[in-house]
């Protein structure tokens, strides 16, 4: 009976060094922003500019020309999200 009373304390003392030796590794969070571009954007305008903070989306909108409404021109569109 005395053995069962001492067993939890012995197990606790056995694992006590492991509790204090374990440290959680922290991964550094980058402060730079993230920009996601579509293939159409990269094809028309090249690589998008990198943001400093948050998340951005680089997309392409095709708008008709004033002189010839049958033709379209690529126009860069940026959507920002602070997250």
Count of domains forming the chain: 1
- The pLDDT value recorded for residue 53 is 82
In this structure, is residue 16 part of a structural domain?
no
Instruction: Return per-residue pLDDT of the chain as tens, 83 residues.
Output: 566 677 777 777 777 676 666 666 666 655 677 889 999 999 999 999 887 788 889 999 999 999 998 999 999 998 888 76
* Overall pTM > 0.85: no
In this structure, is residue 57 part of a structural domain?
yes
- The pLDDT value recorded for residue 22 is 62
Write a three-state SS string for the chain: CHHHHHHHHHHHHHHHHHHHHCCCCCCCCCCCCEEEECHHHHHHHCCCCCCCCCEEEEEEEEEECCCCCCCEEEEEEEEEECC
In this structure, is residue 10 part of a structural domain?
no
Structural domain that includes position 75: 30-83
């Amino acid at each position: 009976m005395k053995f069962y009373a001492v067993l939890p304390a012995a197990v606790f003392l056995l694992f006590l060094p492991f509790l204090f030796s374990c440290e959680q590794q922290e991964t550094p969070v980058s402060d730079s922003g993230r920009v996601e571009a579509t293939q159409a954007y990269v094809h028309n305008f090249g690589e998008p500019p990198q943001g400093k903070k948050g998340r951005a989306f680089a997309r392409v909108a095709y708008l008709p020309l004033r002189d010839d409404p049958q033709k379209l021109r690529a126009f860069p569109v940026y959507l920002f999200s602070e997250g």
